[in-house]
């Protein structure tokens, strides 16, 4: 079977491209959005308003939406831009801008400011179901379950009647944050008030599958059928996923056969789940067979299926096959994404092949945009190799690409700098992290604290602690 794949996935060697470009195009210089983002990246927070006023940039809803999306990890810096834009002549915030800003603030747990924005939206008549679904998702992700439920219960006070869509939004938020028991409890108490639909049941089935609790998932599935909701392609996909995660891959295959018999063609997602599961179980030939069967059945492979196949090859350390898969993707016109890159990088780093990991990273820069996980992995890798200069180069490249580091990226670099006794740079990054409204994790702050005490820099430690104390009070957590 592997010989067949070798013939099918033939192609050229991986070509490593240059990571950096010293020239900046004239388009970048003239593009107002790029100018705006460069000001955001380089200007101190206190001088941001003045710098933006003097730039002559005329803000639009579209430009702000794009900028906020780029700076979604920036927290309070993004909020300063949002506030500045709101004061500009002939400009009004869009609902999308409010929602992006609410998500960004909730991510760094600035809940008071988040609710201030909700109240402003209320006065403008801009609130809708999605506003509250965003807040419920963010609260649930932060394991603030009661706050998520409270948000659902007070919707009516904001003149937004709760309906089935909001009910499904609450259940989904709870299930995705591993609070399915609470979701089931709310479902049982309110299912006569909000008549459940297929989506409601699918959310709960998936939630119990994540628990994992296969018997309960089956119970909800049976109730769904009993009330007259027949499974669709989404529900089938969820059941296949649940069974695979429970190690019942044979049952999952039977469901796929049942779907085909009833004229419901499996999707690329379903095939990707099967390929991924076979990969986890080191059944590489079954993974390849499933991939080829998918193509034989006329289902086009998307990036998710290719990622599952790449992950399977990583698991069995067949990296030559991975490069053949990448070439096959190119031939089929399927563009790798950050997830593709991260799977390969993770596999190479785990094997200690860090030089190859860096080569792959540089090549992928020309194909897709890295995400926070990509940068975090590379920075952590170089720090662990005691190559802080290279970690700093990756950091500078990330900034040049106007990508705002996440809390985990900051933490990885600060911890790496502490391990390499680079206390000055670690302090600078810690201050930048705090300035962006990101509260450092307990272990990250403790690492830097110990290093500062060792070097007798209690003054710097006190300064950083004061800055943290001025943030919205939330417990330190990693």
Q: Taking a C-beta distance cutoff of 8 angstroms, is the pair 305, 332 a contact? A: no
| pLDDT number for residue 18 | 38
Q: Two tokens at 425?
A: 């740079």
Q: Is the pLDDT reported for residue 11 higher than 60? A: no
Tens of pLDDT along 73-109?
Answer: 777 888 999 999 999 988 999 999 999 999 999 988 8
SS3 at position 41: helix
| pTM of the shown model | 0.73
pLDDT tens profile 337-379: 999 999 999 999 999 999 999 999 998 898 899 999 999 999 9
Look at residue 337 in the predicted model and tell me its pLDDT: 95
> What pLDDT shows up at residue 45?
63
d(CA 440, CA 72): 17
CB 163 within 8 A of CB 129: yes
Closest by CA to 427, choosing from 403, 454, 445, is 445
Q: What pLDDT sits at residue 474? A: 43
Higher pLDDT, 25 or 252: 252
Burial string for 249-275 (b: 16+ CB within 10 Å, else e) reads beebbebbeebeeeeeebbbbbbbbbb
Between 264 and 294, residue with greater pLDDT: 294
How many Å apart are CA 435 and CA 437, to the nearest integer? Answer: 5
For 465, what's the count of Cα atoms within 13 Å in the CB-facing half-sphere? 10
42 or 281: which carries more pLDDT confidence?
281
What crossing angle do the helices spanning 442-454 and 407-419 adopt, rounded to 10°?
Answer: 30
Q: Report, as an integer, the average pLDDT of 129-134.
A: 97
- Percent over 70 (pLDDT), the chain: 91
The SS3 assignment for 226 reads helix
Q: How confident is the model at residue 38 (pLDDT cuts 50, 70, 90)?
A: confident
Q: What is the pLDDT of residue 72?
A: 81
Give the per-residue pLDDT at 63: 92
Q: Which pLDDT belongs to residue 25?
A: 45
Structure tokens at 32: 């107002």
List strand residue ranges (DSSP E) for 230-383, in order: none
pLDDT band (50, 70, 90) for residue 123: very high
**Contact (Cβ atoms closer than 8 angstroms) between residue 246 and residue 214:** yes
* DSSP structure string for 1-45: -HHHHHHHT--PPPPP--S------HHHHH-HHHHHHHHHHHS-G
Do 135 and 121 touch, CB atoms closer than 8 A? no
Radius of gyration in angstroms for the set of CA atoms belonging to the chain, rounded to a whole number: 25
User: What are the residue ranges spanned by the domains of the chain?
Assistant: 196-262, 267-335, 340-393, 405-477
**Residue 228 DSSP SS3:** coil
Residue 375: how many other CB atoms lie within 10 Å: 25
Question: Is residue 5 pLDDT above 80, yes or no?
Answer: no
DSSP classification of residue 196: -
3-state secondary structure 414-468: HHHHHHCCCHHHHHHHHHHHHHCCCCCCHHHHHHHHHHHHHCCCHHHHHHHHHHH
Residue of 146, 141, 131, 69 whose CA lies nearest to 107: 141
For the ranges 12-16, 380-384, 408-412, the lowest mean pLDDT is seen at 12-16
Cα dist from 40 to 74, 105, 231, 404, whole Å: 10, 17, 48, 10
Encoded tokens for 111: 């809940």
Residue whose pair of structure tokens reads 């300035």 in the numeric block: 435
What are the DSSP calls for 368-421, one per residue? S---HHHHHHHHHHHHHTT-HHHHHHHHHHHHHTTPPP-HHHHHHHHHHHHHTT
**How does residue 44 score in pLDDT terms, banded at 50, 70 and 90?**
low
pLDDT interval class at 30 (50, 70, 90): low
* Predicted local confidence at residue 47, as pLDDT: 78
Write down how long the chain is. Answer: 478
Q: Largest alpha-carbon pair distance within the chain?
A: 73
pLDDT at 6 over 50: no
Q: pLDDT tens digits, residue range 304-344? A: 999 999 999 998 889 889 989 999 999 999 999 999 999 99
Query: What is the pLDDT, as a whole number, of residue 32?
Result: 86
From residue 409, alpha-carbon distances to 106, 180, 233, 327 in Å are 18, 30, 37, 30
Which band of pLDDT confidence, cut at 50, 70 and 90, is reported for residue 265? confident
Q: Where are the beta strands (DSSP E) in 203-359?
A: none
Pair 288, 272: CB distance under 8 Å: no
Name the least confident of 11-25, 237-251, 359-373, 386-400.
11-25
Query: Can you give the pLDDT at residue 402?
Result: 83
């Amino acid at each position: 079977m592997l010989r067949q794949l070798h013939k099918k996935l033939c192609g050229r060697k991986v070509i490593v491209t240059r990571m950096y470009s010293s020239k900046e195009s004239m388009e970048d210089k003239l593009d107002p959005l790029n100018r705006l983002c460069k000001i955001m990246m380089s200007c101190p927070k206190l001088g941001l308003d003045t710098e933006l006023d003097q730039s002559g940039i005329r803000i639009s809803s579209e430009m702000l939406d794009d900028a906020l999306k780029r700076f979604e990890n920036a927290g309070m810096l993004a909020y300063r831009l949002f506030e500045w834009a709101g004061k500009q002549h002939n400009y009004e915030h869009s609902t999308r801008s409010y929602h992006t800003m609410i998500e960004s603030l909730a991510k760094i747990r600035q809940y008071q400011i988040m609710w201030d924005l909700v109240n402003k939206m209320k006065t403008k008549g801009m609130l809708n179901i999605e506003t509250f679904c965003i807040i419920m998702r963010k609260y649930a992700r932060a394991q603030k379950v009661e706050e998520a439920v409270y948000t659902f219960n007070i919707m009516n006070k904001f003149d937004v009647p709760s309906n089935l869509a909001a009910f499904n939004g609450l259940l989904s938020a709870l299930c995705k944050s591993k609070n399915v028991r609470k979701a089931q409890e709310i479902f049982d108490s309110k299912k006569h008030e909000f008549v459940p639909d297929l989506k409601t049941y699918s959310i709960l089935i998936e939630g119990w599958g994540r628990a994992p609790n296969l018997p309960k998932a089956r119970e909800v599935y049976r109730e769904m059928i009993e009330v007259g909701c027949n499974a669709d392609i989404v529900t089938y996909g969820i059941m296949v996923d649940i069974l695979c995660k429970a190690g019942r891959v044979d049952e999952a295959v039977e469901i796929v056969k049942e779907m085909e018999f009833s004229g419901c063609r499996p999707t690329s997602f379903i095939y990707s789940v099967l390929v991924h599961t076979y990969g986890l179980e080191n059944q590489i030939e079954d993974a390849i067979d499933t991939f080829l069967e998918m193509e034989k059945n006329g289902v086009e492979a998307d990036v998710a299926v290719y990622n599952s196949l790449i992950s399977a090859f990583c698991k069995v350390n067949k990296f030559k096959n991975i490069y053949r898969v990448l070439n096959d993707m190119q031939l089929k016109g399927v563009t790798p994404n950050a997830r593709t890159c991260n799977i390969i990088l993770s596999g190479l780093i785990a094997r200690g092949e860090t030089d190859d990991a860096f080569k792959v990273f540089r090549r992928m820069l020309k194909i897709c945009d890295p995400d926070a996980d990509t940068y975090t992995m590379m920075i952590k890798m170089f720090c662990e190799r005691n190559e802080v200069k290279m970690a700093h180069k990756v950091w500078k490249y990330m900034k040049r690409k106007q990508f705002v580091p996440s809390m985990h990226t900051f933490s990885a670099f600060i911890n790496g700098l502490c391990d390499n006794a680079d206390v000055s740079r670690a302090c600078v990054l810690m201050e930048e992290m705090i300035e962006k409204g990101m509260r450092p994790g307990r272990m990250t702050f403790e690492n830097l604290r110990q290093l500062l005490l060792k070097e007798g820099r209690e003054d710097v430690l006190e300064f950083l602690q004061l800055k943290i104390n001025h943030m919205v009070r939330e417990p330190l957590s990693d």
